A and B are shown apart, each in its own frame.
Chain A
Amino acid sequence: MIDDNTNLDNCNCNCDNCPDSTRREMMMKIRELDFAIIELALYLDTHPEDEKALCLHKEYCKDVKALKDQYQKVYGPLTIKYPCNKWRWLEEPWPWERGNF
């Protein structure tokens, strides 16, 4: 669903070694996992007995948790449930702002 071109398209500075490329890649991975989790959850709502889907759901939840912990430590909170020493919620762009991650 999300191909590699999306990353390049999102780069506003048009350079290959954009300093934000790691962040962008991490965010893309988080988004992919979050999406897969939503999709699996809807499927499991009507197919709760499907072991394979349940297994995948478990795996992705674990992966996205690890990745979000790592991301938030560096780039700030993704939800208000992330504790900070100062209020970093205000520092990063909002999702609707052009060129956000």
Chain B
Amino acid sequence: MWTYNKALEYPINIKCPNPKLAKFIISQYGGPDGELAASLRYLSQRFGMPDQKAKAILNDIGTEELAHLEMVGTIVHQLTKGASIEEIEKYGLGAYYTDHGVGVYPQAAAGYPFTAAVLAVKGDPIADLQEDLAAEQKARATYEKLIDLCRDDPDVIDPLRFLREREVVHFQRFGEALRGVQDKLAQKKFCMNDMKPINKKDNDDCGCNN
């Protein structure tokens, strides 16, 4: 279970609303490489992990991604709150406004709603961790594009930089977890599901009483 902390992981205080930037940044809320997808990807994959380190890292990074989801939602909220209807229309948020007002709805920058189709849970630790390494790089690349697009507003760039850095750290930790899982799978007697040994030879005793 989780306990909510009434504070952002990194402070955000955007002084001027700018719906144009909100239209791009919403992608990190509900887009294909966004924080919601990241969190659900890791928190769902953790159930299928064979070793303690991999379970822990997916659990704890999945949790941090929820804090990032809140940060991205905060950026979008502060960029749209108080914007005039003229600005909203002028910067292409008219369609969004029709369906969601200035609420924060999980969608990609291109407008399609959040879908679980953007995340994968293969139930295979190597495939899942490789997926996560790629996901972190895609999120990093997205933040870099957003930083380019937001170059005129330091209040927006500052938290985006923080979020970008976190993706780099997550990538590093997933790499270490993957190496741990690979080492474990290389041990002959390791049982994947507490039932079937991964690489059982005919007369191997896997030690799992099956």
Contacts and interface: CB of A to CB of B under 8 A. Distances in A.
B6 A41 contact: no
Contact of B81 (A12, A80, A98): A98
B189 interface: no
Contacts of A6: 11, 158
Interface residues of B, number: 34
B138 interface: no
Contacts, number: 85
A47 B74 CA distance: 33
Contacts of A89: 6
A39 B7 contact: no
Interface string B1-35: 00111111111111100000000000000000000
Interface residues of A, number: 35
A12 B56 CA distance: 40
Given A42-B61, A45-B173, A96 B7 contact: no
Contacts of A46: 53, 57, 173, 176-177, 180
A2 B162 CA distance: 10
A3 B178 CA distance: 34
A34 B5 contact: yes
A11 to B, nearest CB: 9
B184 interface: no
Contacts of A9: 13, 155
Interface string A48-79: 10000000000000000000000000000111
Contact of B60 (A10, A45, A80, A95): A45
B70 A43 contact: no
A82 B174 CA distance: 34
B53 A31 contact: no
B197 interface: no
Contact of B3 (A34, A47, A80, A101): A80
* Most-contacted residue by chain A among B13, B78, B170, B180 (CB, 10 A): B13
B64 interface: yes
Interface string B175-203: 01100100000000000000000000000
B173 A78 contact: no
Contacts of B7: 27, 30-31, 34, 78, 95, 101
A81 to B, nearest CB: 6
B73 interface: yes
A31 B10 contact: yes
B118 interface: no
Nearest to B170: A42
